[in-house]
Structure 1
Amino acid sequence: MRQPIGIIGTGSYLPVHSVSNTEVAAEAGVTDEWITRKTRIRSRRRAAPHEATSDLAAAAARAALVQAGITADQVSYLVVATSTPDHPQPATASIVQHLIGATNAAAFDVNSVCSGFVFALSVANGLLHDQPHGYALVIGADVYSRILDRSDRKTAILFGDGAGAVLLGPVAAGQGLLGTRLTTRGDQHELIGVPAGGSRTPASAATVANGQHYFTMNGRAVRSFVDASLSSEVEALLRDTSVAAQDVQHFVPHQANGTMLSDVWPKLGLDGATCHVKLEHYGNTGAASIPITLDLVHRKRLLAENDLVLLCGFGGGMSIGSSLLSWPPTRYARSAAVFTPERDKVGATAFAGLH
């Protein structure tokens, strides 16, 4: 029998600098009211000039390790989901490995854009089955502020910077990751992207002058894709895991757009679940949005042992990733032994940005 693998620690980090709708609206040629009505976002965080994706990822990773009581040198695998890496190469994960001292971890990146965290979670889960006593750090981290055209109202109003992390490790039978479903519709890959900077269109003075290094998105088509695909993906995962929709207690979706989520949510049939939407002050943080939200929910002690938690990401590619988990006893699980309220400095610092 394979050793069950589950989330035994969570962490997150958001930059200190908060950018209001008023500031974003002025640059994008819209109003605060228009942004709030279209997205339900009121502010977002922006990385400091000295902060790169690896810095945010490392802070979130440290918080997850401290929460779980595991040291960095015990980690076997370190996977960073990001579409805004520090550099085209090397992998951002290798830099994070160095920053946190995870000297025994094989480190690599996954880029499935905003679905990346769930894709990375699935990969790490599979690797740990081959090393049942090991641990894996799975981190979602993005710094979208560096690739946005701030005059483009379709994108500039949505995105913020941040990182979230989970530590995977062995859990009891019946707990942990129960199933994952990953799909990609490459025929629609042009809906989201950064046109230049790769082997298809290398960087040049012309690509910079033409703004081809900015993030682009066909918002209307993306919304149609999510509306047409998400419910069937959720249904398929629940069917594969023999779980009834009404038995799911928590739904943690990619925090893409609050208005879109409010339209999609009723179609999923998860009538017994709480849909956790925490984007009001953080915006869409790309691959980081699911683990940031999960960390917030976990640290507020909203997850009980054996609760069924459904994670669902969707994004460029076009891709959808869904994972169903049975929550194990953790430091902040409601029915688990509660640790002393005296918080470690790293965890407190990383979590402070979520209040």
Structure 2
Amino acid sequence: MTSVSRFARITGTGSYLPPRRITNHDLVADLAQRGVQTSDEWIVERTGIHARHFADEGVTSSDLGLQASLQAIAAAGIAAQDIDLIIVATSTPDMVFPSTAAILQNKLGITNGCPVFDVQAVCSGFVYALTVADAMIRAGNARRALVVGAEVFSRILDFQDRTTCVLFGDGAGAVVLEASDTPGILASDLHADGRYTDILCVPGHVSGGKVLGSPLLTMDGQAVFKLAVGVLEKVAHATLAKAGLDERAIDWLIPHQANIRIMQSTARKLKLPMDKVIVTVHDHGNTSAASIPLALDYGVRSGQVQPGQNVLLEGVGGGFTWGAVLVKM
């Protein structure tokens, strides 16, 4: 008997940004009232960010993830009940437990008993989650997976720290990944180095009904930048090598949308012009685990990313984590 190879392909994408759009000018005015001085020019020059979206009070990661998921499910042409695996990548879960994925499952009305769980790898979370979903589909443990990146980073920002509070925003992106007899996820490569946990972290935790430590984001920007530009090139080449390809095979690069300078540096090292890079950081800011699926959905819906093209997704995040996935759309 001949065994049939089993692969996984992205069949639908979706995204959602909360309606409240905060421009640099809006943020600069708000920070000035707090006694923090910055400017639109300072933010744009260092990051490329012009605006970001903040969720209203009471709106959670699962709420954002729900809207992105409904889009992805509709784009895939399936029903929510057809989903048999949900993975949510988030660093800003709705609660300590249960998982945001379980809350999302309920909001989607999925009652088929499918497994659900969260992945926490910060800005690399979506790449990690997509790799796990691919492995589970290939192993026969799922047929249709919903993979979501959803964040409300505005809840963990220190608005007295101009070096971090200007960077982040809220949003969600999602994909439906389905079993296929033709390859879709061509290769992936994941890494982490826990020696650098302190350069990007939220060091607080809940104990005895109180928050111990700081519940706000802290970051050593120079250290993160230096590590990011180095590992993104290496993980891209490692992923391409696993697929038996080189940079010439990349139709689109969709990096984690953290900083335009990091993206420009990565593109140069991969010998890619910027017109082959999907860029949304100017309007979304850094939405952590949501940034890659947000940018992917933008690329698909704008008509830039076409079926059959090779798309390289890659990101870095607190942990320190990094990874890449090469996708044939």
| Count of residues in correspondence between the two structures | 320
Distance 1:197 1:16 in 2: 30
Deviation (angstroms), 1:194: 0.7
Distance 1:230 1:45 in 2: 26
Q: TM-score, normalised by structure 2?
A: 0.93
* Contact 2:138–2:179 (8 Å) recurs in 1: no
Deviation (angstroms), 1:273: 7.3
* Contact 2:237–2:246 (8 Å) recurs in 1: no
- Please, which of 147, 163, 167 is the counterpart of residue 154 of structure 1? 163
* Contact 1:37–1:259 (8 Å) recurs in 2: no
* Percent of residue pairs bearing the same amino acid type: 38
1:145 aligned partner: 154
1:16 aligned partner: 19
1:204 aligned partner: 210
Secondary structure (helix, strand or coil) at the match of 2:281 reads coil
* Contact 1:84–1:144 (8 Å) recurs in 2: yes
Q: TM-score, normalised by structure 1?
A: 0.86
Which ranges of structure 1 fall in alignment gaps of 5 or more residues?
328-355
Give matches, 1:65-84, under 5 Å: 65-84=73-92
Deviation (angstroms), 1:206: 6.8
Distance 1:241 1:32 in 2: 42
The aligned amino acid for 1:233 is V
Check 1:62–1:95 CA distance in 2 against 1; reply closer, same or farther (3 A cut).
same
Give matches, 1:1-355, under 5 Å: 1-26=4-29, 27=31, 28-104=36-112, 105-131=114-140, 134-173=143-182, 175-198=183-206, 204=210, 207=213, 212-270=214-272, 274-327=276-329
Check 1:205–1:94 CA distance in 2 against 1; reply closer, same or farther (3 A cut).
closer
Distance 2:138 2:241 in 1: 23
Structure 1 segments (4+ residues) deviating >4 Å: none
Distance 1:137 1:69 in 2: 13
Check 1:63–1:246 CA distance in 2 against 1; reply closer, same or farther (3 A cut).
same
Is 100-109 or 60-69 further displaced after alignment?
A: 100-109
